[in-house]
Amino acid sequence: MTEGPAESELDSLLSKRLLFVTGKGGVGKTTVAASLAWLASSRHLRTLLCQVDAKGDLQRMFGHGHIGFQPERLRQNLWAMTMDTEAALQEYLKIYLRMPIMPRLGPLAKAFDFVANAAPGVREILVVGKLCWEVREDHYDIIVVDSAASGHVVSQLASPKGVGELFKVGLVSDQTTWMSQILSDPKRSGVCLVSTAEETPVQESIELAEDLENQTDISLALVVANRVFPSVFSKTEGEIFEWLDSNDQRGVIEKAVGKGWDGLVEAADLWSSISSMNKRYVQRLRSEVAGSVPLVEVSEVISVPAGFGLINEVAESIEAGLS
Amino acid sequence: MTNAGLGNVLASKQVVFIGGSGGVGKTTVSAALAVSLAIHTELSVLVITVDPARRLADALGVSSLGNEPVDVDLGSIKAKGRLSAAMVDMKDSWDQIVQRCADPAVQERIFANPIYQNISSQFVQSHDYIAVEVLFELSNRGNFDLIVVDTPPSRNAIDFLDAPARMEEFFSSKLLKWLIAPYRSKVFVSAFKPFNAVAERILGSDFVAQLAEFFVDFQGMQDGFLIRAKAVSELIKSEKSAFVVVTTPSEAPVTEANFLISELVERNLPLSAVIVNRTLPKKLADREVVNAAARLEESAQEATELLVSCFRREHPDVEEELNLALPAIFSRVLSEVENCYRGLSGQVSTEVAQRTRIGADRDSIIEIPQMRNDIASLQQLSGLLEHLWS
Ligand SMILES: Nc1ncnc2c1ncn2[C@@H]1O[C@H](COP(=O)(O)OP(=O)(O)OP(=O)(O)O)[C@@H](O)[C@H]1O
Ligand SMILES: Nc1ncnc2c1ncn2[C@@H]1O[C@H](COP(=O)(O)OP(=O)(O)OP(=O)(O)O)[C@@H](O)[C@H]1O
Ligand SMILES: [Mg+2]
Ligand SMILES: [Mg+2]
C-alpha cells in the first residue's frame, strides 16, 4: 500500500484556509477560536486569528496588549488582529482605487462609513472581503475568525451573494464573484459552530445551521459541544449511589465521613443531573445540527481561569476528539 | 442577606429593563420577574421578551405571537395580579413604524424598495432600537401597570440605552443630507460630486440611487421618527424606570456587568438590582462538608469496606459476579462523588470571589441558583425569585 496514514478529521479541518467560529453569545466562541488557532500554529501552519468584535477578549485571553487591525505576532506562526471596518475600507480604497491611506478618516471615508452603517451589506462585505483577500493573497495558511454571534454572522457570510444581487454593477459587485468562490468551496472555507449543551444555545444552533444552509454557500465544518459536564456514574454505579443516599444508609456513611456527607451528595446529584441534561442536548446537536459533520465534545474545564490554561485544555480536547 | 423589599421597589416602577452580557439569562430572568410580580402584586404586568427559548415561549404562551401582547394563563398558580407577554418581531415593528410615520404613497415606495427589504434586521443596530420602540408603543396604551423589558443580545450590553440617540443622530446627520442631496433637488450641488462619483464607482450607480431614494423617503418620516425617539429616550431616563443587571458568577460576565453598572451611574439611571444567575449551592463550602470530603479522601478504603459489608448484609442473595465487583464499584462511586464535589466546590470559591467584584450594594444583589434542568414551566419560573418577597 502506498497510502500514508488516513487524514484525521483535525487534519482536514486545519487544511481549510478560512474558518468562521460562531454560536450564541457566551458559549465559548472566542475560547474555541483561540484553541483552533493554537492547534494550527502548533502544527507549523502560519495562522491568523481574527476577532470581529472589538471587545478585547483575545487580548485578555492571551494576556497581550492592544491588538489592532495590523496583525500582532503572538508566538511562532500565530498572529492576531481585530477587524475594523474603517481600516478595512481604507485598505480597500488603497488597493482598488489606488487612493492613499488617509491619516485620519477624510470626509469621503467618513461618508462611506456612514453609508456602511445604514446600507445593508456594505459593512459585512468589507469584513468578509478583507478575510477573503487575505486568503487570496496567501499571506497565511489558515485564518480562524472569532465571528460575531449567531444573528450577524449569517448576514456576513451571505453578503457576497446578497450584495451581488443588490449591487448589480460597480467595483464591489465585481468582487463578489471571487469571494463567493472562496466561501463556497468546502475545501477552503467552513463554519465551526459552538454551542453549550443546553436548550437555548442548541435551539439557536439548529436555526443558525438552517440559515447558513439556506442563505449562504458556506458549509458547516465542525460542531463543538462546549462545557459538557462529563457523566459520572455508569448504570450500576448510579444504582449503588442511590442506595447509598437512601435514608437507611445515611447513618452508616455519616459515621465514616461525618455529617457533611449530604453536601457531597448534593454536589454529585447536581453534577449528574447537569451531565445527563448535557448528554441529551449533545445528542440533539449531533442529530439536528452536525449530521455527517464531525462533532467534538469539550468538557467543562474546572477551576482554570480564562487564559492560556483554558485554551490549552480546550485545544487538547479538540485534538483528542478529532484524531 | 435578605432581598425582601426589593420586590416592592421593583413593583413601584413602570418599566423594568433587564440587561447583561450574552447568554447570562436575561430572557429567563425577565420572564421570572414578570411572573413573580404578577403573583405577588395586584399589578397588570407585561413582559416584552426578545428571543425566548422555545420552551420558555411555550410556557408563556407566546410561541406563535408577535408584538401584540397576549394574556398568559397562569393556570393553577394563585396570583394577585395579571400577566401578559409579547415577543418583539423586528420586521413587523419596522413595518409598523413606517405605517405610523409615513403617508400612504411614501409607505408603498418604502415597502417596495429592495434596500428596505434588506434593512430591517441590520439598520443602525436597529434591534436595540426596536425593542425600546415596542416598549414605547405598548406603554402608551396604558393597559399595563408595569412592563418588564428583556433586552436583545448585543455586542455591548449598553447599546440599547443609546439606541434612540443613535437613531436621532442618524436622521439629523449632515452626511445623510449629502448622500441624498443630488437625488432630492434638481440642482446638483457640485460639492457632493466627488463623494457620489466614488460611491457609484464602488457600489454601482443603481445601488446608490436606490439607497438615496430610500433615504429621501425615510427622511420624510424624520419628524415622526424623531419625536418618538426622543420620547423613548425620556422614558428610559424617567424615574418610573428601573434597571436590573443580570450576570453569572464568572469573570467575563461580571466585568461586563460592572461596565454596565458604571454606565448606568454615569447616566444617572437607577440601578435597582443585580441578579447573579446560576449560582451553585453555598452549602458546598460549609466546614462540615469540606471536612467530609477530606475524610472521604483519607479513608476511602475503610468507607468502601464498611459500605460493601453493609450492602452485602442487606442483599444476601446478590449475584456472584456483582458481589465480586462490589468493592471496585463502591470505591468508584465514592471517588466520583468526591470528584464532583471537588469540581463544584472549586467553582463555589470562584463564585464567591466574583461576587465580591460586583460593583453594587450588597443588599441589591439577588441570587438565582443553577437549576438542574431547563426552565420550562411557569411553576419553575415563579420559584426562581420567591426570595424577593419573603
Ligand atoms: N470548556 C470550558 N470550560 C470552562 N469554561 C469555559 C469553557 N469554554 C469557555 N469557558 C468560559 O466561558 C466564558 C465565555 O467564553 P468565551 O468568551 O469564549 O465565549 P464567547 O462565545 O466568545 O462570548 P461572547 O459572545 O461574549 O463573545 C469565558 O469566561 C470562558 O473562560
Ligand atoms: N438559573 C438557571 N439554571 C439553569 N439554566 C438556566 C438558568 N438561567 C438560564 N438558564 C439557561 O441558560 C440558557 C440561556 O438563558 P437565556 O436565553 O435566558 O439567556 P439570555 O441572556 O437571554 O441570552 P441572549 O443574550 O442570547 O439573549 C437557557 O438555555 C436557559 O434555560
Ligand atoms: Mg467572544
Ligand atoms: Mg435573551
> What is the pLDDT, as a whole number, of residue B212?
76
In Å, how far is A121's CA from the nearest CA of chain B? 8
Ligand 1 closest atom vs CA B21: 26
Every domain of chain A and the residues it spans: 10-232+292-322
The CA-CA-CA angle for residues B247, B250, B256, to 5°, reads 50
- The predicted-structure confidence for B308-321, as pLDDT tens digits, reads as follows 988 888 888 888 88
Range with the largest mean pLDDT of B69-73, B160-164, B205-209: B69-73
Tell me the chain B residues in contact with residue A118 when contact means C-beta distances shorter than 8 Å.
119, 123-124, 170, 176, 211, 215
Q: Mark yes or no for CB contact B211/A115 under 8 Å.
A: yes
Q: Report the alpha-carbon distance of residue A318 to residue B95 in Å, rounded.
A: 45
Q: Complex ipTM, two decimals? A: 0.82
Name the least confident of A64-68, A114-118, B40-44, B45-49.
Answer: A114-118
Q: What is the average pLDDT across B221-237? A: 78
Q: How confident is the model at residue A169 (pLDDT cuts 50, 70, 90)?
A: low
Q: How confident is the model at residue A44 (pLDDT cuts 50, 70, 90)?
A: very high
Q: Which ligand is nearest to the CA of B256?
A: 1
Average pLDDT of chain B is 82
Q: What is the average pLDDT across A14-36? A: 94
- The predicted-structure confidence for A5-19, as pLDDT tens digits, reads as follows 678 999 999 999 999
Ligand 1 closest atom vs CA B153: 25
pTM recorded for the entire structure: 0.88
Contacts of A3 (CB under 8 A, 6+ apart): none
Evaluate if residue A142 carries a pLDDT over 80.
yes
CB of B155 within 6 A of ligand 1: the answer is no
Q: Mark yes or no for CB contact A25/B22 under 8 Å.
A: yes
Q: How confident is the model at residue B124 (pLDDT cuts 50, 70, 90)?
A: very low
Q: What is the average pLDDT across B359-383? A: 86
Ligand 2 atom 19: residue of nearest CA: B25
Residue A97: CB atoms within 10 A of its CB come to 12
CB of A99 within 6 A of ligand 1: the answer is no
d(CA A147, ligand 2 centre) in Å: 21
Tell me the chain B residues in contact with residue A122 when contact means C-beta distances shorter than 8 Å.
203
The domain over range A10-232+292-322 is classified in CATH as 3.40.50.300: yes
Q: How confident is the model at residue A163 (pLDDT cuts 50, 70, 90)?
A: low
The x, y and z cell numbers of residue B257, run together, are 456587568
Query: Exposed, middle or buried by CB within 10 Å (0-12, 13-18, 19+), for B199?
Result: buried
Q: Report the alpha-carbon distance of residue A112 to residue B361 in Å, rounded.
A: 45
- C-beta of residue A251 within 8 angstroms of C-beta of residue B350: no
DSSP string, A159-200: HHHHHHHH--SSHHHHHHHHHHHHHH-TTTEEEEEEEESSHH
Contacts of B41 (CB under 8 A, 6+ apart): B7, B11, B80, B81
Q: DSSP E strands: which ranges in B158-251?
A: 241-247
Tell me the chain B residues in contact with residue A149 when contact means C-beta distances shorter than 8 Å.
22, 153
The x, y and z cell numbers of residue B195, run together, are 463623494
Q: Report the alpha-carbon distance of residue B29 to residue B18 in Å, rounded.
A: 8
CB of B5 within 6 A of ligand 1: the answer is no
Task: For strands B146-150 and B44-49, give the pairing.
Answer: parallel
d(CA A25, ligand 1 centre) in Å: 9
> What is the pLDDT, as a whole number, of residue B139?
85
